[in-house]
A and B are shown apart, each in its own frame.
Chain A
């Protein structure tokens, strides 16, 4: 239940829904999200999962790593299968929460048609996209959310040429009940947003930046720090959109004060995948971030004293 009280490690439930010792890579932040996320969702849930790292993490038949009912379905149809489960719950008079949990490929690329259909129908489901910014489960190939300049196994030498697509914005264009962006490095922010989403009827979408040691080229112990660095430089902006109203979440809100922003380069240098970026490319990326935050400051106010992060009605 959403009590409005911020969850901390002190009041986070000790009940576990995921068994220790699963098949996630060391340092995987998906396993962190999954563990904390299921604590917020509770037991009365049904999960729909397309092929992704989560499929592997959840265990190989006949052993399962989680204590929840899970339907593993085809790659392109996560939102459609979740729709079907939801329709069955409605017919059976059950309030069980239907949770689709997919990766960026399963959401932004092959699954986007079914996602858009379910959004347009305003299906009453929670859809979680953990975005590790490439096809990690098949060995790090580029996806629609892979950032420009990122080295992957099919964008070698100079990295991906194209910009990533802004999936939460695509989702928001469907006017769903709730959109949230999160970072795996702020799992309790994700937790509390889930508590809120559970009480909203309609389509609830979560997009979570999910650092991945083998895919991003970093030490296992660095993943949480890298996720935080992405937020601190303003690249990964955490927000919620409720009924069309956007608010910045706490970890990002401080960046309304320009003095609090860290350079993008700090984040890039922590990862091998960005090693081929030229100084010009980094400068162009930094410029795009600055532009985004200037717009945020126009939208939410720049002064340190007026950093509520609530849209004040002014046009951007």
Chain B
């Protein structure tokens, strides 16, 4: 049976991981992820979760342990934040290249230098090209639901999945959520299976040096070269969006929640202007546009991306076709260019004739407060101002909330 809880986002993630029958947890402490892995160590030590807890000496090793465990037939999990995620970076590429169905939670935090323990999305955005699927939760319920779905997705497509949730805004706040019944999750998530489990009975040499060109194996069958293998990863990552939609439908049937696996629109049907964001900011923006609709009669909607990689290109283009203006709010950027999400979104819209006016706002870096009044004013101005005469003016990101 399911139960209602009021708990932190980190504990919500831990309880979801407990439900997923994880075999191996390897983790290294980093703020603001730490309470999640503390909770898992507690559940394991108390015998409430049958798993190995490996207290490693670094995030690089945390992912190393997960890579080894997943290759050897165990469901593995880790979690991190910020510089911890970056320290794992080569391991992330390795896990994706090895097609290991890992799941990792990220309590998103700004990256040093200078040190910041507060929230933004630069950690996840900087790892967008690792070959991991990246999901973004907006609240505690989504942390639970996405984590459970992530295991099924990873194991169906053999691509690792990151579940992102905002540090402090979600990781440390308490919210109500429903925890699914253990038996139902067990039914939803079949036992762990990996195609190339390390097995002395069926010996395989995994991830060995692979030549640029395709090459015959000892049976005379041509096997792909490095580029062919990498193309498969890309192709199957694109296909993962369909798989996620199927998983979401099954989840909705089993648990009554879902229906918006890729994009989550709010009041977008009649909207002239659409605000695009990821994570908890999208929920904050819902309140802002409710106000704008009521007080200023502006037809604004919010479109939350639930998935950033693979990028929901076609879905996003379809959702934004009719809009007059699109405002992309991001807690991170590609330094020297623009917000990464903005650039991706712009490229998704390029092939279509009816392109809305686009705006890019960078905000909340390193935990800089995102005031609802500022969001409201910024949006109002963006909706009401006429199109800029110089294209590069609108294409330059606007930094919101600067104090100097």
Q: CB < 8 Å: which of A64, A68, A82, A91 contacts B68?
A: A82
Instruction: Contact check, B65 vs A67: say whether CB atoms are below 8 A apart.
Output: no
B64 contacts the other chain (CB 8 A): yes
Instruction: Contact check, B207 vs A91: say whether CB atoms are below 8 A apart.
Output: no
Q: Mark A72-109, 1 if CB is under 8 A from B, else 0.
A: 11101101111111111111100010000000000000
Instruction: Contact check, B23 vs A85: say whether CB atoms are below 8 A apart.
Output: no
Q: In the assembly, what is the distance between CA of A273 and CA of B24, in Å?
A: 46
Q: In the assembly, what is the distance between CA of A43 and CA of B198, in Å?
A: 12
Q: In the assembly, what is the distance between CA of A66 and CA of B203, in Å?
A: 9
Asked, given contacts A113-B57, A114-B64, whether A84 binds B26 with beta carbons under 8 Å apart, the answer is yes
Chain B hits for A64, CB < 8 A: 203-205, 208
B94 contacts the other chain (CB 8 A): yes
Q: CB < 8 Å: which of A61, A66, A92 contacts B210?
A: A61
B181 contacts the other chain (CB 8 A): no
Instruction: Contact check, B64 vs A80: say whether CB atoms are below 8 A apart.
Output: yes
Give the residue name and chain of the A residue nearest to B223 (CB): A62
Give the residue name and chain of the A residue nearest to B218 (CB): A63
A162 contacts the other chain (CB 8 A): no
Q: CB < 8 Å: which of A77, A82, A83 contacts B60?
A: A77
A250 contacts the other chain (CB 8 A): no
Instruction: Contact check, A113 vs B61: say whether CB atoms are below 8 A apart.
Output: yes
Q: In the assembly, what is the distance between CA of A62 and CA of B225, in Å?
A: 9
Instruction: Contact check, A70 vs B205: say whether CB atoms are below 8 A apart.
Output: yes
B67 contacts the other chain (CB 8 A): yes
| B61 smallest CB distance to A (angstroms) | 4
Q: Of A44-52, A217-225, A282-290, which stretch is located at the interface?
A: A44-52
Instruction: Contact check, B24 vs A87: say whether CB atoms are below 8 A apart.
Output: yes
A251 contacts the other chain (CB 8 A): no
B54 contacts the other chain (CB 8 A): yes
Q: In the assembly, what is the distance between CA of A66 and CA of B204, in Å?
A: 9
Instruction: Contact check, A83 vs B64: say whether CB atoms are below 8 A apart.
Output: yes
Instruction: Contact check, A61 vs B208: say whether CB atoms are below 8 A apart.
Output: yes
B211 contacts the other chain (CB 8 A): yes
Residues of A in contact with B, size category: 35 or more
Task: Give residues 57-89 of B contacting A (CB, 8 Å).
Answer: 57-58, 60-74, 76
Instruction: Contact check, A73 vs B52: say whether CB atoms are below 8 A apart.
Output: no
A60 contacts the other chain (CB 8 A): yes
Q: Mark B76-108, 1 if CB is under 8 A from A, else 0.
A: 100000000000001100100000000000000
B51 contacts the other chain (CB 8 A): yes
Asked, given contacts A74-B90, A96-B200, whether A88 binds B69 with beta carbons under 8 Å apart, the answer is yes
Q: CB < 8 Å: which of B55, B64, B200 contacts A84?
A: B64
Instruction: Contact check, A46 vs B198: say whether CB atoms are below 8 A apart.
Output: yes
Instruction: Contact check, B76 vs A84: say whether CB atoms are below 8 A apart.
Output: yes
Instruction: Contact check, A77 vs B64: say whether CB atoms are below 8 A apart.
Output: yes
| B48 smallest CB distance to A (angstroms) | 16
B294 contacts the other chain (CB 8 A): no
Instruction: Contact check, A84 vs B68: say whether CB atoms are below 8 A apart.
Output: yes
Instruction: Contact check, A83 vs B74: say whether CB atoms are below 8 A apart.
Output: no
B-contacting residues of A (Cβ < 8 Å)?
Answer: 43-46, 48, 55-56, 58-64, 66-74, 76-77, 79-92, 96, 113-114, 116-117, 120-121
List 27 contacting pairs A-B, 8 Å CB cutoff, sorted by A: A55-B209, A58-B205, A61-B223, A62-B217, A67-B203, A69-B198, A69-B200, A69-B206, A70-B203, A70-B206, A71-B71, A71-B72, A72-B205, A77-B91, A81-B67, A83-B61, A87-B54, A87-B69, A88-B24, A88-B70, A88-B71, A88-B76, A91-B23, A91-B52, A113-B58, A114-B58, A116-B57
A-contacting residues of B (Cβ < 8 Å)?
Answer: 23-24, 26, 50-52, 54-58, 60-74, 76, 90-91, 94, 198-200, 202-211, 215-218, 223
Knowing that A61-B209, A64-B208 are A-B contacts, what are 15 other residue pairs whose CB atoms are under 8 Å apart, sorted by A's residue number? A46-B72, A61-B223, A62-B216, A62-B217, A62-B223, A84-B69, A88-B23, A88-B71, A90-B52, A91-B52, A91-B74, A114-B58, A114-B61, A116-B57, A121-B54
